A and B are shown apart, each in its own frame.
Chain A
Amino acid sequence: AQKITQTQPGMFVQEKEAVTLDCTYDTSDPSYGLFWYKQPSSGEMIFLIYQGSYDQQNATEGRYSLNFQKARKSANLVISASQLGDSAMYFCAMREALFNKFYFGSGTKLNVKP
Chain B
Amino acid sequence: GAVVSQHPSRVICKSGTSVKIECRSLDFQATTMFWYRQFPKQSLMLMATSNEGSKATYEQGVEKDKFLINHASLTLSTLTVTSAHPEDSSFYICSTPGQTYEQYFGPGTRLTVT
Binding site for B on A (CB under 8 A): 33, 35, 42-45, 47, 50, 52, 91, 95, 100-107, 109
Chain B: CB-nearest residue to A46: B105
Complex Cα distance, B32 from A106, in Å, reads 24
Complex Cα distance, B107 from A102, in Å, reads 17
CB of B43 within 8 Å of the partner chain: yes
Contact A100 B93 (CB under 8 A): no
- A-B pairs with CB below 8 Å: how many? 46
Contact A100 B43 (CB under 8 A): no
In the assembled complex, the CB of B66 is this many whole angstroms from the nearest CB of chain A, namely 21
Contact B43 A45 (CB under 8 A): no
CB of B103 within 8 Å of the partner chain: yes
Chain B: CB-nearest residue to A51: B101
Contact B46 A101 (CB under 8 A): yes
Contact B97 A106 (CB under 8 A): no
Contact B101 A45 (CB under 8 A): no
Q: Which listed residue (A43, A95, A104, A105) contacts B101, Cβ 8 A? A: A95
